[in-house]
Amino acid sequence: MEKISVSNTEEDIENRIIDWITLGSGGRVVVFKPEKVLKGADLIAKKRSGYEEKEISFKINSCIGPAGSNDFIKTLLQNDFKPNKEFYLLFVYFDEIRQEISDHIWVVPSLEFKDIADSTVLGGKKALRFEASLDIKKKNKFSKFLLDKKDFVRFLIEAFEKNEVHS
């Protein structure tokens, strides 16, 4: 029974992120859940721009609390995602009591995550670990990827613009 609850909460988190992007972008960005998992993505965002649509994908990694500790730890199997410049990992803390996503999220480019995450083994398979304090004043190697959730849409639009310049 609890597994269903966690699954519903994770879906609720995805839906809230979709709402942030949809409302915050003023229709400039369309976001949706892929019909099948592609490269490990939970969400795909496309910028509306002329004939060619730009695309950025996200894997959402959530920590549902209140947490027993003040650390957000998530271990990802290396085979679960394929790093590329248009793929980001979102690390989101969800307070189940308040029914809210934390004011801050980590938005980590998958290529950088691959390089800076701690290597570990999970179930006999190679994995990468994200570990950060929920106290954002405590700095670590992931701190530079920390965003106020209100700035996420601006970050996304800037990422599209960078991609257009470098294409």
- Picking from 119, 117, 113, 102, the residue whose alpha carbon sits closest to that of residue 67 is 102
| 167 domain residue, yes or no | no
pTM of the model: 0.86
Give the model's pLDDT for residue 9: 85
The CATH number given to whatever domain includes residue 143 is 3.40.1350.10
Domain boundaries, position 132:
2-159
The C-alpha atoms of residue 154 and residue 25 are separated, in whole angstroms, by 8
In order of 21, 51, 124, 136, the CA distances from 130 in angstroms are 24, 37, 18, 15
pLDDT band at 5 (very low <50, low <70, confident <90, very high): low
